[in-house]
Amino acid sequence: LFKFALHLIALLGFALAQPLYSLLANYPEFFVARDSEPLDLFLLVLILSLVVPLLCLLLIATLSRFGKGFQQSLKLCLVAVIVALIALQILKAATWIPGTILVVAALISGAFAALAYRKWKLVHTYLTVLSPLVLLFPVLFLSNPQISRVIFSEPEMPEPDTVELDSLSALATSAATPVVMIVLDEFPLTTLLDEEMQVDRLRYPNFARLADQAYWFRNATTVSDSTLVSIPSILSGVAPILNEKRLPTLSDYPNNLFTLLADTHQLELVENGTKLNPFPADQPLSSTPQRIRELLADLTVVYGHVVLPLDLAESLPAIDQSWNSFRRAKLSTREFRDFDDFTHDLDQSANIFQEFTTSLSRNTAPSLYYLHAMLPHKPWQYLPSGKQYSLAPDALDGQIRLESNNVSYPAWGADQSLIDYNYRRHALQAGYVDGLVGELIERLQETELFARSLVVITSDHGASFIPNDFSRRASETNLGEIMWVPLFIKLPFQDQGIISDRNVESIDILPTIIDALEINVDWKMSGQSALDTTLPERSSKHIMAATNEQFEIEAQSSLRT
């Protein structure tokens, strides 16, 4: 059994461990967004590289009572299945061949491999020699620079090309001003607009009510189509750099809104996917067993996408709509299945917003209230009234997959009727968010916070509803719906609405907050205050598709119309 254990370690290393290590090394955000601790990563490599082979070995040892012949057959079956998994990952590159045929071909390959394993001792020798080398896979994974940044804190990364914020007079009023900031998710500005480029008062009365008392920056755009890039840019004022990945962590963004107000305000923060809080101990964490269970559950879905051909993987829960809870969400890349299974998670997003609103209080010490709300992000199943609905299990969502830089992303197919149907569902859920914003404003007024607070409401990025185009990934043809986002900033004691069409980007939000609070800082930021009209207006806008593609358009582009 010892020799076969070495063979299992070698085979599973290539079939299971290394494919996952290779994928996860490119997405360290996967661990950051799910609040993984360094211990979680060490336990993960232990499970993938040692525990799984040992469990297979334990199964064989347990069933040895049925005789050596049965035990040998079980060994050969394991070899056949594991080799078939390796073969399938190679064969799936042939995307023009139906997935079922590729699976059959992989199983035949596995059968031949098991036959060779039984007949030729040379195969045994080869696997025995290979087994120690396979143990290098977890070492290389943990020492990968991207993963190391999750395990070990590192100094701040080099700053991009920046401009130093002009010094502002530091007044005592900044320390006495409550700050309320809401970052919505997947909310394009175009959803709010009517034909006159105004907030649609009939559909979104509370956003219109806010616009009547705040600055509405109607030409505000995001700098990234990725949540974990755009939100750190909003909170730090630092633009992303092409082909350079920053993690949404305090070590990569040490100067941000939270650290700015940490000394003067009580921090009431609800982060989602980012870890920029300077006092992380204040955030409740899941237990290690719970985090590992959820991690392994999600990795079973990820591995399915790694192994299965594209046409077969479409029936799996999607892994590019969120960073966790893949199984519970059951958001298929081909169709929405069993929406009732997701009700709890969506309820959680709604409940978090309502709990956040309830938490607003007349504190003697000023507070920073911050919420990243996962609304009106899909799945769309709320009516403006708050009533929930669900789709039939076989209801098509009209989405397909399109490739960009050799990676596939969710996109819309050619059926305009399905796209229109889904846009209406999105708009209805946006109406529900409008109601939550109304409750927020009423709560602020009840607690006598609204008038004296600095209130900021924006979104991380938009969403697109264009045939044969990406629904979330920025492209040349969907920038009008991906880039432009709502941005409302109500200054303390402001009671008159002002519409500004200046070129404002999400990196300008923190400098604007600093300006509004009249704080003196010496940080270097890419953005500038949207309130200071003496500053020259930028002549262009930029957005990153993730961090590996950049688009540039004119500052007063007509794309949003």
**For residues 118-131, average pLDDT:** 90
CA distances 164 to 235, 379, 511, Å, are 16, 41, 10
pLDDT at 474: 95
CA distances 555 to 222, 266, 336, Å, are 13, 37, 38
- Residue 477: pLDDT band (50, 70, 90) is very high
Q: To the nearest whole number, what is the mean pLDDT of the chain?
A: 87
Residue 347 predicted with pLDDT over 70 = no
**For residues 282-303, average pLDDT:** 85
Residue 299 predicted with pLDDT over 70 = yes
Distance between CA atoms of residues 222 and 279, nearest Å: 27
Residue 106 predicted with pLDDT over 70 = yes
Contact residues for 322 (Cβ-Cβ < 8 A; gap 6+): 329
pLDDT at 427: 97
**DSSP type of residue 95:** T
Residue 346 predicted with pLDDT over 80 = no
Contact residues for 38 (Cβ-Cβ < 8 A; gap 6+): 150, 151, 152
- Residue 176: pLDDT band (50, 70, 90) is confident
> Could you please report the per-residue DSSP string of 433-470?
HHHHHHHHHHHHHHTT-TTTSEEEEEES------TTSB
pLDDT at 169: 40
pLDDT at 456: 98
Distance between CA atoms of residues 27 and 29, nearest Å: 5
- Residue 330: pLDDT band (50, 70, 90) is very low
**Interior angle at CA 231, CA 228 and CA 232, nearest 5:** 85
SS3 assignment, position 317? strand
Type of residue numbered 200: D
Residue 424 predicted with pLDDT over 90 = yes
CA distances 57 to 332, 382, 537, Å, are 34, 49, 67
Q: What share of the chain has pLDDT > 90, as a percent?
A: 63
Residue 166 predicted with pLDDT over 50 = no
Report whether 184 contacts 376 (CB < 8 A).
Answer: yes
pLDDT at 399: 83
- Residue 114: pLDDT band (50, 70, 90) is very high
Task: Tell how strand 454-459 and strand 179-184 pair up.
Answer: parallel
**For residues 171-191, average pLDDT:** 86
**DSSP type of residue 534:** T
Angle subtended by helix axes 288-307 and 68-91, to nearest 10: 70
**Interior angle at CA 389, CA 383 and CA 391, nearest 5:** 125
Q: Give me the residue label for tokens 């890419």.
A: 526
pLDDT digits (tens, 9 = 90+) for 363-394: 767 899 999 999 999 889 899 999 988 876 55
**For residues 225-232, average pLDDT:** 95
* Residue of 22, 20, 482 lying closest to 226 (CA atoms): 482
Lowest mean pLDDT among 175-189, 331-345, 358-372, 544-558: 331-345
Locate 255 and state its tokens.
Answer: 């100067």
Sign of the dihedral defined by the CA atoms of residues 244, 247, 252, 255, in that order: positive
**For residues 5-11, average pLDDT:** 91
Distance between CA atoms of residues 400 and 406, nearest Å: 16
Distance between CA atoms of residues 60 and 69, nearest Å: 12
**For residues 273-282, average pLDDT:** 83
pLDDT at 525: 95
**For residue 554, what is the enclosing H or E element?**
strand 549-554
Distance between CA atoms of residues 118 and 134, nearest Å: 22
pLDDT at 449: 94
How many other C-beta atoms lie within 10 A of the C-beta of residue 161?
8
Residue 411 predicted with pLDDT over 50 = yes
